[in-house]
Structure 1
């Protein structure tokens, strides 16, 4: 399915590139301040930030990172950010324009180490543009895409949701 004209304009204007989890992104900020993480013991930027765009049927596949991630709504349709909690439950944050969508919030946090995925709520725009701020800063070395077998075994009660948002190569 081709991207909407609005999504294509945003990708070009913001200089977005394909992201391994799905969608498009560009890093917009990397703190020059460095901090020392204790677990694992490594130096990181204090914070990083990206633009992130999901268009049409693209989604952010199940993944986790080792830092807290704050999502910020910018434009377009709402997003559902699904988080697999440590107690086996799923929490879903509706990220969107809270003035127009009574279920939405402008910001949501995914805590470090949680598996999470996001999908656009179908709407008139055909895209959702958000920002993600990670602290301590994001590094691909701390980024894990889900293994479908392990995730389904641990969170079997949520199998349909997990299967729907698996990384494209693992999706069945």
Structure 2
């Protein structure tokens, strides 16, 4: 089932979105002035950050991980799958969160959480679709803590998920 059609070019212009290294488009919308330190570290960082994130035109969010929890919020468009390889599961558990308008699309939810250190990737359920989401990170996101999966690394570690990992790898 399709979501509401969104004019992606207009949205990119209106929200001043820019290409993201993992795929799609984004813009940071909030960076908390409150500063915190992560246990065992001395570096100060924002307590939280938030972005708009748009997937469209067949783009996907390539496998990556960050050192903070990330909450995904669905805003508009088509359902989106957020695939997560759980870091604390030795067996390589794969969990897929389906984001969407839960009032229109059965088996979707408005929010999903990716825990710190988990590898994750995202894609529109319909490759021709578009989805606008938000991502809130606490402690706040820093590109210095962003890691794209190196080609072949996740496939070797999680061979049972090879097809999905390869399909959602970084664009070369």
* 8 Å CA contact 1:7, 1:126 repeated in 2: no
- 1:70 paired with 2:74, answer no
- Whole-angstrom distance in 2 between the partners of 1:39 and 1:11: 39
Checking the alignment, whether the CA contact within 8 Å between 2:6 and 2:130 is kept in structure 1 is no
Dislocated runs of 4+, deviation >6 Å: none
Unaligned runs of 5+ in 2: none
For residue 38 of structure 1, report the CA deviation from its aligned partner. Answer: 2.3
Scaled by the length of structure 2, the TM-score of the pair is 0.92
Q: Show CA shifts across 1:111-153 (max 9, x none).
A: 0000000001118x83100000000000000000001222111
TM-score by length of 1: 0.92
The answer to whether residue 133 in structure 2 is matched with residue 137 in structure 1 is no
> Is residue 19 from structure 1 mapped to residue 47 from structure 2 by the alignment?
no
Identify unmatched segments of 5+ residues in structure 1. none
Using the TM superposition, give the Cα deviation of residue 98 of structure 1 relative to its aligned residue in structure 2, in angstroms.
0.4
Q: Does 1:93 align with 2:97?
A: yes
Does residue 164 in structure 1 map to residue 171 in structure 2?
Answer: no
Mapped partners of 2:155, 2:114: distance in 1 = 20
1:103 counterpart (100, 104, 107): 107
Q: Give how far 1:40 is off.
A: 4.3
Once the two structures are superposed, what CA deviation does each residue of 1:69-117 show, in whole Å capped at 9, x if it has no partner? 0000000001000000132010000000001111100000000000000
Distance 1:81 1:126 in 2: 15
Q: Would the alpha carbon gap of residues 135 and 103 (structure 1) be closer, same or farther in structure 2, given more than 3 Å must change?
A: same
Query: d(CA) in 1 for partners of 2:41 and 2:54?
Result: 30
Equivalent-residue separation in structure 1 for 2:39 and 2:105 (angstroms): 40
